[in-house]
Chains A and B, each alone.
Chain A
Amino acid sequence: MRFSRRQFMMSATGALVYASSAGLLKRAGIAAEEPIRVGNILDQTGVLNIYSLKQIQAVAMAVDEINAAGGLLGRPLELFFYDSQSNNQFNAQYTTQALVRDKVQVIHGGITSSSREVMRPIVDRFRGLLFYNSLYEGGVCDRRHVSTGMVPAQQLEALIPYVMNELGGKRGYILAADYNYGHITAKWMQKIIRDNGGEDLAVEFFPLDVTNFAPVLSRIQEAKPDVVWSALVGGAHMAFYRQFEQTIGKKNMLLASSTYGVGREQTQLSPEEGDGIYIATSFVDSLPTENAKSFVERFQAYVGNDEYVGEYGEYGYRGVTLWAEAVRKAGAADPDSVIAALGGTQVEGAGGLYTIDGQTNHTTMDIHIVRGNKEQSFDVLKSFPQQPPKDTQLVCNLYENPNDTTQYEVQID
């Protein structure tokens, strides 16, 4: 068994025991000031915790680092954590509790789109601020909401031309998870493939509990595409990557994905099963930059193990540091002042430069094309600097409509 006692304690008691301890605040000499309250609502329990656990620890680490460096505006941060237990009902209850009772200045959290859509109206109603640190389908236009993760066009406009032109993947077969994200991502895949002169042979959607992919693998063999595009999501769909390798094999057909790797999928597959999958990402542990190396080292020291960190973990750290930068820029921590300062806020983070796009409150970031390798990690092939959240920019302009709170669906023809 590959776990230490410390690791057990970490996962058993949660990251909270390490975060924002009174001693740490005292050493930093900022304990006397009224703390700035930060809320974090994520799923420590239940089916979604595969995406949340690293992020919970990363948020705690970011808060501790800020406190160790003297706090924000001379005030310490105080972290309030709520375990939403993979149940949207708790997202609603804790969002209200965080804003009304615990009076937090910002909430980081929500993993799924549905949980975000439950939290967002509450945040709007109580004039709070929500940092949604997750990969999602794009289109949310709300000044009280900041998205720090990738949206489909941002990712795919780098990935698809690369795979088509450099690797010869002209004819694609698209597989996506059967929910909002999958449907929208599949449409963007089709559009970008066609715009680049390729061919999309088929699009198929899979309910999130499907584990038997034998039928579609036979259909893929019938259609004979150059590349299979995957926007599959969640634990059950991991079975696809295993069965693909057992049946067709990546040496015979290209495999590229918009979702693989963000939830540390490669650590759950054998080296052979993960070797050779192409993805577009804003952060992998193996990025050859000083910032990335330093982040991974600090994180592993913080949690006391040397596990792969991954994109969702980094999102949490990214969200807190971007918010902290906006607070410094605003000179105040209350939501309305911070919101006014959001546009153009920049942080040189682990995955490159992050810039909040004031038009959409989404994040402009570097996108890296990487390929899975035999060490259950990724080789970086090419980086595309400063990719804007193009799809959401098409439908959202918070400068013109500051009171907009809609989630738009980008119409793709």
Chain B
Amino acid sequence: MALRPLGMQPAAEPPKWWWWLFVVAATAVLFALPSYIDIAVQLDMSVIFVLALLALSMSFLWGYVGILSFGQTAFFGLGGYTYAIAAMNFGETTGPLIGAMILPALFAGVIGYFMIYGRVSGIYLSVITLVVTLILEKGVRATSGEQFVIGSVRVGGQNGIPGVPPLQLPWDPSTSLFIDGVFYLSAGALVLVYVGLRLLLLTRFGRVLVGIRENERRTELLGYDARRYKLAAFVLAGGVAGLSGALYGIWGSFVGPEMFGLGQAAQVIIWVIVGGKATLIGPIVGTGLIQYLTTWLGTQGVGQVSLVLGGVLVIFVLVFQQGLLPSIGLLLAQITGRSKRSES
């Protein structure tokens, strides 16, 4: 079943001057912010940055390569567990953080190889990635017994691993990051990954990816091995999701099997759709909005949070078909009369 063509296709145009201005301004604001907000807000914002990385890894694959990986949470969870287990075994954290990107990337390489070179595509690829993450969840949940130990760390099954160590400064292992440090770390990682992916799309590699999304057959006829490019993108997204998982472990000092679960997997899609997958900034906004909404609702005594959230989602799909940011963009364009699209 073909996806209906989107009204607004993400293009890989070179960024304008105002984009650079935006990035610089956003970075400056993020760095100044911890002096003005209390640490509870810093904590709330940090987790949004961390989860936005996960959303980015999915929207990059989906919006620019045309691969809908429902199971990015597999790499997210794997990254979290890799960091937790390695850091607790070695007592050092820089290596484990890097490992938490490499291991999920390798895993993405393996399953990506079988899927992409096996010419599995479309909805079946989505569903296979979902099944992979659900199997991992089931597997991790079954490790409650004390025989499941990696090095000196109990895998912990259902309960996950509490007490995941905070990140130490690579040059000074005696200093661990506190909440404001985690804020800088997650904000910095998000900005770097965002800018990195944005610029990557300008390179030859990025253009080929977009070409594959537009027409895989034609790109191959032009002499590009589409499968290799797709696999590379899949691996890269796996690494980013792994980083997100490791940061999540650092953020909350815990990892658990729910990181692999259906609930988490569906949430990622929701963030991406709400923000709109046509841009890289959209998913970041989507993550922020939904996370803020659920956190805020939980303190308002509204009764069943899921009732409100579920209603919002249904209305969203029916009203904002492109995602929030593109919809607002369209609206603005119509208001200012600069819309090039015919109002059909």
A binding-site residues for B, Cβ under 8 Å: 11-14, 16-17, 44-46, 80-85, 87-90, 92-94, 96-97, 100-101, 112-114, 117-118, 121, 178-180, 182-183, 205, 207-208, 409
Contact = CB atoms under 8 A, between A and B. Distances in A.
B162 interface: yes
Given A84-B298, A179-B159, 15 more contacts: A12-B304, A13-B301, A14-B301, A17-B301, A81-B301, A83-B299, A85-B306, A88-B252, A88-B256, A90-B294, A101-B38, A117-B163, A179-B157, A180-B144, A205-B144
Contact of A121 (B163, B256, B263): B163
| The 10 nearest A-B residue pairs measured at CB | A179-B158, A117-B162, A16-B301, A83-B298, A97-B40, A114-B159, A100-B40, A101-B40, A45-B305, A92-B252
A100 B138 CA distance: 36
B304 A45 contact: yes
A208 B158 contact: yes
Contact of A89 (B47, B157, B301): B47
A89 to B, nearest CB: 6
Interface residues of B, number: 39
A96 B303 contact: no
Nearest to A41: B298
A295 B192 CA distance: 58
B11 to A, nearest CB: 35
A93 B44 contact: yes
Nearest to B51: A89
B175 interface: no
A241 to B, nearest CB: 21
B256 A12 contact: no
Contacts, number: 118
Contacts of B47: 89, 93
Contacts of B89: none
Interface string B123-167: 000000000000000100110111000000000111110110000
A113 B305 CA distance: 23
11 contacts: A13-B303, A17-B301, A44-B305, A45-B305, A83-B297, A85-B305, A88-B160, A93-B43, A118-B254, A180-B157, A409-B146
Nearest to A187: B146
Contacts of A97: 40, 43-44, 299
A82 B44 CA distance: 14
B197 to A, nearest CB: 25
Contact of B158 (A14, A80, A85, A114): A114
A328 to B, nearest CB: 29
A384 to B, nearest CB: 30
A183 B40 contact: no
Contacts of A84: 298
A112 B157 CA distance: 13
A44 B304 contact: yes
Contacts of A44: 303-305
Contact of A94 (B179, B299, B301): B299
Nearest to B43: A96
B253 A118 contact: yes
Contact of A83 (B146, B256, B305): B305
B299 A14 contact: no
Nearest to A116: B162
Nearest to A10: B303
Contacts of A205: 144-145
A85 B294 contact: yes
Interface in B265-320: 294-295, 297-299, 301-306
A244 to B, nearest CB: 23
Contacts of A100: 38-40
A207 B141 contact: yes
B258 interface: yes
A307 to B, nearest CB: 17
Contacts of B299: 80-83, 94, 97
Contacts of A82: 298-299
Contact of A118 (B40, B157, B162): B162
Nearest to B295: A93
Nearest to B263: A87
B244 to A, nearest CB: 13
Given A87-B258, A93-B43, A46 B301 contact: no
Interface in B223-275: 251-254, 256, 258, 263
Contact of A114 (B145, B160, B179, B263): B160
Nearest to A233: B158
A179 B256 CA distance: 12
A96 B40 contact: yes
A172 B69 CA distance: 48
Contact of B159 (A13, A46, A113, A207): A113
A320 to B, nearest CB: 18
Contacts of B43: 92-93, 96-97
A113 B251 CA distance: 19
Contacts of B258: 87-88
A208 B252 CA distance: 24
Contact of B144 (A81, A90, A183): A183
A13 B158 contact: no
B84 to A, nearest CB: 13
Nearest to B305: A45
A114 B162 contact: yes
A162 to B, nearest CB: 28
A92 B295 CA distance: 11
A113 B254 CA distance: 12
Given A100-B39, A179-B159, A88 B254 contact: yes
Contacts of A45: 298, 304-306
A27 B303 CA distance: 27
Contacts of B39: 96, 100
B36 to A, nearest CB: 14
A46 B298 contact: no
Nearest to A49: B304
Contacts of B294: 85, 90
Contacts of A208: 141, 158
A82 B159 CA distance: 22
Contacts of B159: 112-114, 117, 179-180
A6 B209 CA distance: 58
A240 B301 CA distance: 35
Interface string B304-338: 11100000000000000000000000000000000
Contacts of A90: 294-295, 298
A381 B39 CA distance: 52
A84 B298 CA distance: 7
Contacts of B301: 13-14, 16-17, 81, 83
